[in-house]
């Protein structure tokens, strides 16, 4: 069965500092990997996704993520955090089961940004 | 604004009751997905419909059911409600059926269900 682990429940950074959110996955084949952001009172928004090819993926809002198969990781990074980045971040792995795509989400990491 | 609408925004009801949550997908999207987000379980995929047909099933309880209508809106029916059903229920939509290829999902703002 596929699974996703986000080991950090909360991360606090200062505005302007760099950010890395960790994500480890378990899946038997090459996974589809995603990062979503959820602002308070909002639904989830896709930041970026990895299917195949270049292991460094660029997303929206200045985010990027790197797929490392050997470490089963897909960590999210941003070189300089803005106060508006404070939100909940979810990593997800997608696998095909019986011809249908079934996504599994991590428990999320809450990002707190200090001025 | 993702273009996905969900009603109502909030719902408060009692144990044992039945409720219906409604979702209208983005214009042109044929797939609708339902998710449950709770403190206990996190974000869980419930079920997917594509053009009126059930496509994939996740961790959906037997007390829950869903359907997608000819106009492509979808309803999630929750019955015999328990305290543990209190959660945020999200709907998402995508252009196509996922199958072996992923279509980006656009999420609605959610319906917060409180069971007292």
Residues of chain A in contact with residue B46, where contact means CB-CB under 8 angstroms, are: none
Nearest to B102 among A42, A99, A101 (CB): A101
pLDDT in tens, B5-33: 999 999 999 999 999 999 999 999 999 99
pLDDT in tens, A28-63: 777 889 999 999 888 899 999 998 888 999 999 999
Distance from CA of A18 to the nearest CA of B (A): 27
Tell me if B29 sits within 8 A of B44, measured CB to CB. Answer: no
Q: Do B102 and A32 touch (CB under 8 A)?
A: yes
Residues of chain A in contact with residue B107, where contact means CB-CB under 8 angstroms, are: 43-45
Domain CATH number, residue A19 = 2.60.40.10
Q: Do B43 and A96 touch (CB under 8 A)?
A: no
Residue A96 pLDDT: 67
Q: How far apart are CA B75 and CA B25, in angstroms?
A: 11
Beta pairing partners, B108: none
Nearest to A100 among B4, B44, B48 (CB): B48
Q: Do B104 and A96 touch (CB under 8 A)?
A: no
pLDDT in tens, B41-57: 889 999 999 999 998 88
Instruction: Annotate B24-61 with b (16+ C-beta within 10 A) or e (fewer).
Output: bbbeebbbbbbbbbeeeebbbbbbbbbeeeebbebebe
Residue A47 pLDDT: 95
pLDDT in tens, B98-116: 654 567 889 999 999 999 9
A57: nearest Cα among A32, A80, A39, A37: A32
Band (A100; pLDDT cuts 50, 70, 90): low
Nearest to B104 among A46, A96, A97 (CB): A46
Task: List phi, psi (to 5°) of A96.
Answer: -95, 125
| Tally of structural domains, chain A | 1
Give the E-state strand segments of A9-80 in sequence order.
10-14, 19-21, 24-26, 32-38, 44-50, 56-58, 64-68, 73-78
Q: State which residues form the domain around A79.
A: 3-114
Mean pLDDT of chain A: 91
More confident residue, B96 or B76: B76
Tokens of B72: 């492509």
């Amino acid at each position: 069965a596929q699974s996703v682990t986000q080991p950090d429940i909360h991360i606090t950074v200062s505005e302007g500092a760099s950010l890395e959110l960790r994500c480890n996955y378990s899946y038997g084949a090459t996974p589809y990997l995603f990062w979503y952001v959820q602002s308070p009172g909002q639904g989830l928004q896709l930041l970026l996704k990895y299917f195949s090819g270049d292991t460094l993926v660029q997303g929206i809002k200045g985010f990027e993520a790197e797929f490392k198969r050997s470490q089963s990781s897909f960590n999210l990074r941003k070189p300089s955090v803005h106060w508006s980045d404070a939100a909940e971040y979810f990593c997800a792995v997608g696998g095909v089961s019986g011809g249908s795509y079934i996504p599994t989400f991590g428990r999320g990491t809450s990002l707190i940004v200090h001025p | 604004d993702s273009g996905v609408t969900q009603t109502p925004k909030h719902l408060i009801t009692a144990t044992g009751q039945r409720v219906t949550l409604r979702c209208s997908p983005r214009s042109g999207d044929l797939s609708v997905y339902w998710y449950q987000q709770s403190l206990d379980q996190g974000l869980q995929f419930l079920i997917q419909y594509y053009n009126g047909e059930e496509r994939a099933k996740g961790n959906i309880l037997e007390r829950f059911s869903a359907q997608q209508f000819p106009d492509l809106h979808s309803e999630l029916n929750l019955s015999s409600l328990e305290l543990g059903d209190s959660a945020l229920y999200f709907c998402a939509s995508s252009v196509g059926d996922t199958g072996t290829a992923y279509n980006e999902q656009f999420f609605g703002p959610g319906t917060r269900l409180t069971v007292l």
